[in-house]
Amino acid sequence: MSEKKKCPITHGWQPYDPEFRKDPFPTYKEFRQQCPVGRVEAHDGFWAVSRYEDVFEVARDAETFCSGQGIAIPPMEYDGRALPMEADAPEHFGLRQILAHELTPRAVMAREEMLRVSAQKLLAKIADKDEVDISEEYAKLLPTTVICQLLDIEGDEAQLQELQEWTEEIVYERKDHNSARQASDNIVAFFNELIPQRRENLGDDFISTLLKAEVNGQPLSDQDIMDFCWFLLIAGLDNTAFTIRNLLLQISNSEELRQELIADPDKISDAIEEVLRLYSPVWGIARTATKDTEINGQAIAAGDKVMMLFASADRDEEEFPEPDKFVLGRTPNRHMAFGMGAHRCLGSHLARLEIKVAVEEFLQLFPDYQVVGDVDWNTMGPLPIALSATAESTATA
Amino acid sequence: MKLTVDWDICQGHGRCVMVAPEFFDFKEGEDKPTVIVSDISEAQKSLAQRACRSCPERALLLQE
Ligand code: SF4
C-alpha cells in the first residue's frame, strides 16, 4: 500500500449516506477542486477519482486498472461475477461479444415497435387515473417488461414487480447487507429454476443465446450463465428506470423544455443525453490497480481499489461549461454515464431507445402532466404525477 | 480532409452517428460504425469537427 495521508476532504466520505445521496454534487465539486484523487477510509479504503480527465485515463487503461477483482465498493452481495463486466482480457472480449451482437444499434432498432407497444399498454392502465406514482407504475415497469421479453420470462405483473424490487434492493439499498443478500439469492434461485428449463427448450432469447454460445470452442459454464443472467437484471432495470424518472421530472420543471420536446420529439434524444450527464445512474465503478502506478500525480499501489466517479466527471467544469445547467443539445457532450473503454455499457443502445420511447409515448398522451408536490432528485423514489393539467397540481419549480 | 476512426479505440458508443449521420452509419449486425463519407470538404468541416469532439473515446481523427 502506498503512503496514505488523511485527506480532510475525502477521508471521511460515506458514499451511501442517504443525506449525501440526495444531492451529491456539491461534495463531488469539492473533491474535484481540492482532492481529485482522494483517499477514502470507508469500505476498507479506496481512491475516489473525481475529475473527467483522470476518470478517462483510468477507464482507458484496463491493463493497469482491472475489473476482475470487483467493480463495486463494497462488493455486491453476490458470490459470482457480474459478467461480462467483471472479466478481464483476454477472457473479457469473447464473453462480451456473446451479447454484443444482440445489442447492436440495428438489432435494438428492430425492437422499437415491441417497446412502443409495451409502453402503450402500461400507459393505458394508468390513463384514467388523476394521479399516479410514475416511478412505480411506469418508469420501473417498462424496463422490467423489456428485459423479461428479451429473456423470454413469462410472468404476471406481480412477478415482474418482484424481479424489479430484488434488483433495486441490490443496487440502491446498499446499507442493508441482509436484505440485499436475500434479494440476490432470490434472483439466483429464480434463474436456477429457469435455466435448466430453457436448456431443454432453446429459443432465440438471451438466455438461449448464452446457452448456445461458445468462446474459443468451449460452451459457457453454468456459473458463467448464471453470472450473465444475474448481471443482466442488475444492469438493465434500475438504471433505465432511474433515467426515465429523471427526464420526466426535468421536463415537468421547465415549460420551455416541455414545449420544445412536444414541438420536436426528435430532440428527446438530446434531452436524454443531457439528463444522463447530469444524473448519471451509475455514479461510480471500481477498478483494482494491477501494479504500482499513479493517477494525476497521486501514487497508487498495486492492489489498491480505485473508484471512478462518473457522476462527478460528468459535471467537471473543465469538460462541460456550466456543468450544473441542463442544456438541450449540448455539444460536445462526451458524458460517461455509460462508462468508457473496453467495459463500456453493452446495453447503451437499448437503454437509450427504451428511455426515448418511454418519454415520447408519455408526452404524447399526457402533454400537460405535472409533478405533484416536492420530490427528491437523483433517487428512485416516488414521482407522483397529475396526468392532466386540469387536475390540481402544485408542481414546484 | 480525411475523417478516420481508430478502431482499437472506438467502443461503438454511436455518438458520431447521432451527431453526424451524414458521415457515419451502423450497419446490420455491426457494433461499430461504418464511415460512409471520409473525404470531408471545406463545407463539411465544422460538422466533422463536431463529430470528432463528440466521441467519448476520442477515436475520431480529422486530418489534412
Ligand atoms: S463516437 Fe467514437 S467510440 Fe462511438 S462509435 Fe463513434 S467513433 Fe466509435
Instruction: Quickly state the pLDDT bin for A237 (edges 50, 70, 90).
Output: confident
Residues 6+ apart with CB under 8 A from A183: A77, A165, A166, A167, A169, A170
A104 vs B19: CB contact, 8 Å cut-off? no
Q: Which atom of ligand 1 lies closest to the CA of B12?
A: 5
pLDDT > 70: what percent of chain B? Answer: 100
Which CATH number do you get for residue B53? 3.30.70.20
Q: Across the A/B interface, how many CB contacts are shorter than 8 Å?
A: 51
pLDDT, position A173: 62
B56 vs A269: CB contact, 8 Å cut-off? no
Bridge partners of A300, per DSSP, are: A293
Number of domains in chain B: 1
Nearest to A100 among B28, B31, B56 (CB): B31
Residue A223 within any structural domain of the chain: yes
Any atom of ligand 1 within 6 Å of the Cβ of B59: yes
Give the domain extent around A302. 18-386
Residues 6+ apart with CB under 8 A from A217: none
**What are the grid coordinates assigned to A92, written together?**
473479457
Which CATH number do you get for residue A24? 1.10.630.10
Residue A198 within any structural domain of the chain: yes
Would you call A69 helix, strand, or coil by DSSP? Answer: coil
Residues in chain B: 64
Number of domains in chain A: 1
A340 vs B11: CB contact, 8 Å cut-off? yes
Closest C-alpha to B19, from B40, B48, B44, B43 = B48
| Backbone phi, psi, residue A318, to 5° | -70, -30
| B39 CA distance to ligand 1 middle (Å) | 18
Nearest CA in chain A to B54: A332
Residue A396 has pLDDT above 50, yes or no: no
pLDDT, position A352: 95
Nearest to B29 among A60, A106, A335 (CB): A106
**What are the grid coordinates assigned to A358, written together?**
418511454
Give the domain extent around B6. 2-63
Bridge partners of B60, per DSSP, are: B5
Residue A261 within any structural domain of the chain: yes
| B32 CA distance to ligand 1 middle (Å) | 7
Instruction: Quickly state the pLDDT bin for A393 (edges 50, 70, 90).
Output: very low
Model confidence pLDDT, tens digit, residues B4-31: 999 989 998 888 998 899 999 998 888 8
> What is the spatial distance between Cα A230 and Cα A223, in angstroms, rounded to a whole number?
10
The ipTM value here is 0.89
> What is the spatial distance between Cα A382 and Cα A20, in angstroms, rounded to a whole number?
18
pLDDT, position A76: 86
